[in-house]
Amino acid sequence: MTRDRAAKAALYLVLCAGLLVVVGPFLWMALSSLKPEGEIRAVPPTWWPDTWTFANYRDLFARLDFPQYFTNSAIVAVLVTVGNLLFCSLLGYALAKLDFPGRKALFLAVLGMLMVPGMVTFVPQFVLISNLGLANTYAGLVLPFLAGPFGVFLMRQFLQSIPDDLLEAARVDGAGEWRIFWRIVLPLCRPALATLGILTFLASWNNFLWPLVVATTDDKYTLPVALALYSIGQNRIYFGLLLAGAVVVVVPVLIVFLALQRHFLRGIATTGLK
Amino acid sequence: MTAIATAGAHRAGRTAQAGAKRWRRAVTGWSFAAPFTVLFLVFLALPVVASLVMSVTDMRATDLRTPFAVDFVGLGNYQRLFGDDLFLRAALNTVVFVAAGVPLTIVAALAAANALNSGLIRFRALFRVGFYLPVVTSIVAIAVVWRFLLDPEAGLVDDLLARVGVDGPNWLGDTRTSLASITVMAAWRNFGSLMVIFLAALQGIPANLYEAATIDGAGRWQQFRRVTLPLMRPALLFGAVITGIGYLQLFEEPLVMTQGGPLSSTLSVSYHIYNQFGFGNYGYAAAASYVLFVAIVALSVLQFRLLGTRDD
């Protein structure tokens, strides 16, 4: 009995140490963003702020254009999420429940795309977007991400579990396929749509490489791009501002994640994919 | 006579009807599939083909507006690639990163999942959410924090080491520790997502198998070796493949942490491609991206061979 208790205590100790290593950096980031510049660079470093200040956040929103970057990130993430929910559920339904020529080939092509590294499509996508005159526009930031293969895979898996009898009954009652889709299928898909929605939103919010090359002026930067450009190169800004900027990037994600984490982690575990 | 004619007309009518039905099914199916398919073809499938074509041309940034007026150079880009010291260095760095990073991430995820699954752990949800936090966080924000923590002067890591009498290195600024630092950071960032998958797999293992093993006198470690690991094989395979595919594409970590340095010690293949794109060498960058593509497929096939289930 005591041996069991000792084992359990050791387990908790290890888990707590692990938690400190994983979450500690985020706590330090949040606390340090509330320190004045001099204290952030102090040697030896402090953990708890000696002096509390909101100056970093004030500067971030007043002197730099962070409200604009925040808006850009939100616009892009919302458009990409809505597009994926719509297009992926439409195709997912067709692949799972409708019989049409070319269905198998289409599914294999979409599935195969999951293996293609981003760098393969990166350069031609840039050439394409530039030639369509969409560089440095919201359309250019959004279009390549509207139809994600992963979403199709997820929606198809989920839709296959919907009983055919249900759809057949609706067909017998004279409902067309579109009516069935909007009235019966989509409401049943809510859990899968929630998972896909959260995953897509987070991926888009954190997306970095594409907006880095497509957004070329200040007014189209997303948050990660702005933060990266301010943290490296000639535009380097004060450390306090950087840390406050990092907090601004993380907090919306944190809120979405904490509010929906049950849903989210279960969805990932069942689809078995990130 | 009329009877035969009627029967024929009837049959013709029926085939026409079947044809019309098939046609209607095709139209309905494709009307659902079309929006995604059009976007998919234009923005993903076309670029995959275009990249392959570009890789056998001398396309450069100056050809951006006239992408069809380029010269065919055959396998020239590929030949150049394997004579390019910087590409070879990037390939070596990437291989080292994958070979060290994938096992490290899997072991960390396996340990966390097993710890959270053993007995009645209180606050399990808290630990799970905490361990998952870096997965959902922007790499740029993570880089800002870690560059601070690893700073040789004002960083917390070296400060902690100094307290126990160790003179900490300049983690990101020293060629001997830079790639290792990036590797550990990547494992730190990614193990949470595998942990969630492993936890689900662990919870699917029937408890009576452990009871039987206990009765047979198997200790904890033996139970883990003989019961848990074999039954987790599909999840482990999946984790290894997904992590391998992701890690072969290493890019954002070195970009925001070290800019590939010092002395190209953290330059990865994807980063090299990105640089070549930046220099305007589009054809060359496309060729390098296809080499990476082949490597990803090869690694996945290899992992399926090594870890795949043999119960078929």
**pLDDT, mean of residues B287-312:** 84
Residue B312 pLDDT exceeds 60: no
Which chain B residues touch A127 with a CB distance below 8 Å? 50, 64, 67, 282
Closest CA relative to residue B54, chosen from B246, B244, B290, B243: B290
Residues B24, B111 within the same domain = no
Is A95 in the B-facing interface, judged by CB distances under 8 Å? yes
Output the DSSP codes for chain B.
-HHHHHHHHHHHHHHHHHHHHHHHHHHHHHHHHHHHHHHHIIIIIHHHHHHHHHTTB---GGGTT-TTS--B-TTHHHHHHHT-HHHHHHHHHHHHHHHHHHHHHHHHHHHHHHHHHSS--TTHHHHHHHHHGGGGS-HHHHHHHHHHHT-TTT-HHHHHHHHTT-----TTTSTTTHHHHHHHHHHHHHHHHHHHHHHHHHHTS-HHHHHHHHHTT--HHHHIIIIIHHHTHHHHHHHHHHHHHHHHT--HHHHHHTTT-STTTT--HHHHHHHHHHTT-HHHHHHHHHHHHHHHHHHHHHHHHHHS----
Which residues lie closer than 8 Å to A28 by C-beta, 6 or more apart?
A47, B145, B148, B149, B156
Asked if residue B225 and residue B103 are part of one domain, the reply reads yes
Q: Are residues B150 and B189 in the same domain?
A: yes
Which one of A100, A236, A271 makes the best mutation probe of the B interface by having the most chain B beta carbons within 10 Å? Answer: A100
B302 with B189, same domain: the answer is yes
Whether residue B256 sits in one domain with residue B223: yes
Report yes or no on B312 lying in a domain.
no
- Residue A217 CB neighbour total at 10 angstroms: 7
Reported as a pLDDT band with limits 50, 70 and 90, residue B85 is very high
Give the per-residue pLDDT at A135.
Answer: 93
Q: Report how far residue A201's alpha carbon sits from residue A207's, in angstroms, rounded to the nearest whole number.
A: 10
Q: Which of B273, B299, B278 is nearest to B86 (CA)?
A: B273
State mean pLDDT over B227-241: 89
B72 forms bridges with which residues in the sheet? B57
| B144/B20 same-domain check | no
More confident residue, B266 or A194: B266
Is B161 in the A-facing interface, judged by CB distances under 8 Å?
no
More confident residue, B311 or A176: A176
- Does residue B19 lie in a domain region? yes
How far apart (Å, rounded) are the C-alpha atoms in residues B288 and A111?
23
Do A94 and B33 meet the contact criterion of CB atoms below 8 Å apart? yes
pLDDT at A175: 87
Scanning B72-111 for CB atoms below 8 A from A yields none
Which chain A residues touch B188 with a CB distance below 8 Å? 21-22
Do residues A273 and A154 make contact, with C-beta atoms less than 8 angstroms apart? yes
Is the same domain home to B22 and B148? no
Q: Which residue has the tokens 């260095």?
A: B89
Chain B residue numbers touching A243 (CB-CB < 8 A) = 144-145, 148
Residues of A in contact with B131 (CB under 8 A): 18-19, 22
Provide Rg for chain B, Cα atoms: 28
B238: nearest CA partner in chain A: A272
Rounded Cα distance between A138 and A76, Å, is: 7
Q: How many domains does the structure of chain B reveal? A: 2
**Type of residue found at A66:** F
Q: pLDDT at residue B311 above 70?
A: no
In chain B, pLDDT over 70 holds for what percent of residues? Answer: 93
What is the rounded distance in angstroms from the CA atom of residue B187 to the CA atom of residue A28? Answer: 20
Interface size A-B, in CB pairs within 8 Å, comes to 278
Cα–Cα dist B231/B204, whole Å: 9
Examine the domain organization and report whether B100 and B242 are in the same domain: yes
Q: Tokens 């922007």 identify what position?
A: B138
Residue B108 CB partners (closer than 8 Å, separation 6+): B187, B191, B195
Does B286 sit within 8 Å of A94, measured CB to CB?
no
**Segments of chain A with pLDDT less than 70:** 1-2, 233-237, 265-274
pTM (2 decimals)? 0.89
Query: What are the counts of helices (DSSP H) followed by strands (DSSP E) for chain A?
Result: 15, 0
Per-residue confidence (pLDDT) for residue A274, from 0 to 100 = 37
Residue A209 burial by Cβ neighbours in a 10 Å radius (0-12, 13-18, 19+): middle
Chain B interface includes A125 (CB < 8 A) = yes
Q: Dihedral of the CA atoms B1, B6, B7, B12 (nearest 10)?
A: 130
What domains can you pick out in chain A, each with its CATH number? 56-271 (1.10.3720.10)
Determine the structural domain holding residue B163 and report its residue range.
76-307
CB of A139 less than 8 A from some CB of B? no
In sequence order, what are the beta bridge partners of B57? B72
- Measuring CA to CA, how many Å separate A65 from each of A70, A191, A239, B270? 9, 37, 17, 31
* Residue B1 reports pLDDT greater than 50: no
pLDDT at B131: 93
pLDDT on residue A82 = 97
Q: Does A271 touch chain B (CB under 8 A)?
A: no
pLDDT at B205: 87
Do B149 and B39 lie in one domain? The reply is no
Write the residue in A8, A117, A270 that is nearest to B293 by C-beta: A117
Can you give the pLDDT at residue A98? 92
List the structure tokens of B82: 């394997």
What residues contact residue A251 under an 8 Å CB cut-off, 6+ apart?
A: none
* Residue B229 and residue B273 in one domain: yes
Per-residue pLDDT band at B18 (split at 50, 70, 90): confident
Domain co-membership, B166 together with B248:
yes
pLDDT score recorded for residue A6: 82
Residue B5 distance to chain A (closest CA, Å): 33
pLDDT digits (tens, 9 = 90+) for B145-196: 998 899 888 788 888 898 888 888 899 999 999 999 999 999 999 999 999 8
Q: Which among B225, B230, B221, B240 is positioned nearest to B201, based on CA atoms?
A: B230
- Whichever domain contains B111, its CATH number is 1.10.3720.10
CA atoms within 13 A on the CB side of A88: 30
Angle between helices A2-32 and B124-132 (to 10 degrees): 40
Of the candidates B84, B69, B42, B66, the residue with the CA atom closest to the CA atom of residue B284 = B84
> Is B259 found in the same domain as B198?
yes
Residue B65 lies in a domain: no
User: Is A66's Cβ below 8 Å from some Cβ in B?
Assistant: no
Instruction: Please report whether residue B66 resides in a domain.
Output: no
